[in-house]
Structure formats: structure tokens, C-alpha cells
Amino acid sequence: MSTAQDTSPRTQAAPEPGTGRAPSPLGVLLEPIRGRVRAAVVLQGLASALGLVPLICLAEAAAALLADGPTDTALVWTLVAVALAGAVAALAAGTASTLVGHLADNDMQLSVRRALARHLGRVPLGWFSGRGSGRVKKALHDDIEDVHSLVAHTLPDLAAVVAVPVVALAYLASVDWRLTLVAVLPVAAGVLLFARAMAGSMKKMAEYAEAMGAVNTAAVEFVDGIQVVKHFGGHRRAHERFTRAADAFADFFVSWSRATTPATVASFLVLSAPTVTVTVVAAGAGFAALGWSEPVSVVAFALLAPALCAPMNVIGSRVQQIQTARAAAGRVRDLLATPPLPEGSGGGPRGARVVFDGVRFAYPAQDGAEGSGAGEEVLRGVDLVLEPGTVTALVGPSGAGKTTLATLPARFADVTAGAVTVGGADVRDIPAEELYRTVGFVFQDVRLLRETVADNIAMGRPGATREEVEEAARAARVAERIEALPRGYDSVVGEDADLSGGEAQRVSIARALLADTPVLVLDEATAAVDPVSEAAIQDALGELARGRTVLVIAHRLSTVAGADLIAVMDEGSVVERGTHGELLARGGRYADLWRAQHPEAGDGDAHDGAARDEPGEDQ
């Protein structure tokens, strides 16, 4: 098997010789296995041609048996032997074609998936949150499956489509050229009818995809939002939207079918084996009566004339599969062309001090958006210092830039201007592995892999012992729940490890504890859990934050009242900073936010609560 390095697709390829044009995305994917694909195609063509040998031998044997005079028994037995040999050879060549094609396809799939995995490991982490997993899943599975169908099935099948009619036509022409012309007539008629049926098919296929996409979108919206829709009495409107989309698709499909079905059915009828057989037998009988043909010739045409037309019935589907594979290869190419973050080549951080120095940031324009420039600036000259061993909270209204700022130390994206340093080193200069060993992230939206609970906890330290995993789970206040699972730490998430949102959150905290990064970014983990889970998570976060440089994205101010520093953000800038008590005393933006969340509490109560909190206790 070829190595991934030898067969990895390239996002940029040299122009095709003599054309000056860059090869197609499909050509780039197939280039490393092109020789084996050609071998599979040739072998399948040979197998299909050899598959006609028994029929040819049968026709020749019939001619020998029906000839005037004594029967040439030796010839008949020779033909039987050749027929058997041809059948065996056809089977061998077909098997070899399948084996060569599937092995080549396996190498192609492996190399493309490895190339995608390597490349996606170097793109900005923010790219994934900006697009979701659907595009990646489609490329890694659906699109590669479409190319698989082309390599392993479609191209070899097309070889059969060519080889069978050519061999059959050559043999029949040697038997009787007049009957051969008659046998070709259904092929010509069928091709004309099929071309008529497919006229404008590319435009119709685009309309089909658009109509089906509208149905899928309406269905997903209806199902995903069914609880909210029904609760607020909007189920009729949502159902009507789905029904309109489904009706529009049905009307389009019926209209398209009515326009194409007559010609399509006629082409299949003309190219069918009974039609071709009846045509050549009737013509043969007439020609024999006129003395133009030998009656025994009709046997050969009755056996082999259908072979002229049968492959034509699969051309349409195979051409469509080629178009599908081309589109799939284009999507894979686009994914591989996603600009990666430049790999840092400097030294590692020295310490855990995090500095945002004049940070400005704008998200790139989304795919398909008008223009190619950057999007609106969401961070505008942020200056902020996170001292080692302290807890800093980011608060502010939705859209203020809190999450964007918090993701920059982990290099979800690179700043547009300014710099973010960790331990005195610009994050852009720190090698990725070293950066991820330094900066940890606990997400609000927890994602656990379909692995054992122990493996999920040990993700940050694959070499951790079971004792270390269990100790991290105890510190995260989730050990008791894990031990109650059917197989304890060996239970598999999604199978026999059925964890609630709060329990999954504590597993992710155990993961962060075990990774033991000196800098930690926390997206508030208790925003959507019940009070019991919240208390357990707050205890776990308190353990996690101890001794680290912690940056917290806070949505509820009560959870960060004990932070060492609170930075208030609004419209991409830090507008206030200080402790909880200091900010309340100023009566500014933070005080307004606090009163909005705690209308029943006065400033004096807030000051008393802040005084009782220890820094980081509620993290």
C-alpha cells in the first residue's frame, strides 16, 4: 500500500502538459492512483469482452451443428472448451479489476482523509466554530464516498460500456454486415431519444437540488424547533412552510417527469433486449427469404445483438456519477485550500502572564459573502494584563467581544493588529503543541468523544495513569457519578455512559485538571444547568482555577464577584476594569449590569457579598 505521503492530494498542482491549465480537482485526487485506475479499467474492459466469448462460441457451434454435411464434432468440442476458458478468464479479469480498483480506492481514501486531518489540524480553531461540523463531515465521509464510487465502480463500468458493443459489433459485422446495420438502428434511435430526454438536464438538476434543499431546510427547522414552535402556537405556520416547500418540490418533480418520461421510456424500450432481438430476428427472416443472409446467421444476432444496446441503458447514471464525483472533489479541494495558521517557530512561553497589547480583530468575510475583505471589526484596541495566579473576568452585553477576546490566547485566530503574548512570547511565535500545553480551554458547549470516560478525561494527557484520571475526576466532583456507570471509567460515552449536561461539564473540567495548563480560559460553565449541578461545577471550577492564570467569560455577574480583576467590555473595547466592589462604587457600566441582574439587591448588599468572596472561589 502506498504511503499517505506518496498519495496525498495537493491543493496546488502544475498545469497539465501542453494545455497551460491547472488540472481539475478530481484529477488531482486521482493523480497518485491514476496508473492503477487505468489498470482496473483495462481489466474490466477485458473481462467484459471475454464475457462475450461463450456467446460467440455458442453461435459458432450452432453454425457448425446446422451446417450441411457431417457435423464437425471436434470443432464443436473445441468451441465448448474455448467458451469455458473465456468464462473463466472473464471471471479472473473481473476479479482482478475489482481488486486493483478497490485497493487503489482504499489508498486514495486513506491519503485524502489523512491530508484533510493534517490540514484541519493547522487551520484556525475559530474556523470550525464559524462553520460547524457539517462541511467537514461531508468532505471526510460523503464526498470521499462519491469519489470512491467513481474509482471502484463507475470508471470500470464505463470500460464495459465501450468494450461490449465494440466486440459484439466487430463479430456481428464479420457474420453479416446487412443484419449488423439493422442491429445498429435501435442504438441510434435510443441515443437520440435519450438525448432528447436529457436536454437541459444540468439546469433541471440545479433546480432539483435547490427544491430539495428547500425541503430539507424546512424539515430541519420544523423538527429542531418543534418544542418552541408548539409551545408558542406556531406549529401551523411552521407546518405550512414545510408543506409549501414539499408541495413546490413535488410540483417541480411532476413537471420534470412529465416532460422527460415519454422520451426516457421510449429510449429504454427501444434499447431493451426483447426489442433488439425481435428486430434482428424479423429482419434476418426477411433477408433469408430474399437470399441475402444465411438462416443460421440469425442465431448469432439473436445472441449478441442485445449486447450492442444493453450498456447504453447505464450511460446516463454513470455520467451523473462522474458529475457528482467532480463536485465532491471540488469541495475536498476547497477544504484543503483553507488557509492554515502559520506555524510558530519561536521559543516557548516563560511563565503564565498573558498580555493583550493594542489588540484589534475582525473576522474574515464568510464564504459566499460579497467582497473578499475582512468583516466588521469586533475588537478595537484592547489592552489587558492577566497576572499569573489571578482570576480575570470578562463581562459585558452580548456582542461586546468577550468570547472573541478570550479565544485569542489559544490562537483560535490571529489578531488583525496588536499582539497577544503568553509568558512573554507572542502566541504567533509559539509552536502549536507548546501553546496548547500552556493554554487550556473549558467550553460552555461540552463535546465528549465516543470513547471511554477515562479516555475523554485523559485526552490532554494520553499517557496519564488510571490513578491520575480518577484523581482528576474526584477533584472535578464527578467521580461518584462515573463509578456508578455500568463499566465505570470504561463506560463509553453515547453507549452505556449516559451523562447529563452538568455531568459532562464536570468531565470536561476533569480533563482540564489533568492537562494542568498554567493558563486557563473558562466560558461560564453553569449558564444552562440546574442548581445542584451548578453547585458541583462551581466547586470543581474553584479547584481548577487554583494557582493558574484564569480568564473567565462571565454571563452572570454573581459567579465572578470574587475575581481579582473584572474587565467590562462594550462594542469591542474594555470600558471599565477593577474589582467587584470598585466597579460598583464607580456607578458605571458594571453597576448598571449588576442592578439589571440583581434588582432586589442594593449596592451595600453587593459590597458585603464581594467582601466575603475569595478571589477565584466562584470560578
Average pLDDT across each block of 10 residues of the chain; the chain has 619 residues. List them in order: 47 49 74 89 93 91 81 88 94 94 88 79 64 62 82 87 89 89 83 69 61 66 55 56 77 74 74 82 86 85 83 72 80 78 76 92 60 68 92 90 90 90 90 86 80 89 89 88 91 84 85 88 64 63 76 84 90 93 92 86 48 39
How many CB atoms neighbour CB 143 within 10 A?
25
Which residue ranges make up each domain of the chain?
A: 23-167+314-340, 354-363+375-597
Q: Are 468 and 461 in contact (CB under 8 A)?
A: yes
**One CATH from 3.40.50.1110, 1.20.1630.10, 2.60.120.10, 1.20.1560.10 for 23-167+314-340:** 1.20.1560.10
pLDDT score of 422: 92
Q: Give this prediction's pTM.
A: 0.60
The DSSP bridge partners found for residue 576 are 568
**Residue 587 burial (CB count, 10 A):** 11
Q: How many helices (H) and strands (E) does the chain have?
A: 27, 10
Residue 405 near residue 420 (C-beta atoms within 8 A)? no
Dihedral through CA 590, CA 550, CA 510, CA 505, nearest 10? 20
Alpha helix locations (H) across 198-348? 201-224, 226-231, 235-270, 273-290, 297-304, 306-309, 312-336
Q: Identify the pLDDT of residue 230.
A: 52
Backbone angles phi, psi at 21, to 5 degrees: -105, 145
The pLDDT value recorded for residue 611 is 40
d(CA 526, CA 501): 10
Per-residue confidence (pLDDT) for residue 615, from 0 to 100: 39
Within 8 A by CB and 6+ apart from 610, the residues are 561, 562, 579, 580, 581, 584
Cell of 142: 460523503
Q: What's the topology of domain 354-363+375-597? A: Rossmann fold (3.40.50)
pLDDT number for residue 513: 85
**Distance, first Cα to last Cα, the chain:** 52
What is the Cα–Cα distance from 26 to 148, expressed in whole angstroms?
A: 11
The answer to whether 23-167+314-340 and 354-363+375-597 have equal CATH topology is no
Give 395's strand partners: 568
CA angle 337, 340, 346 (to 5 degrees): 150
pLDDT of residue 225: 55
What is the predicted pLDDT for the residue at 376?
Answer: 79
pLDDT of residue 87: 94
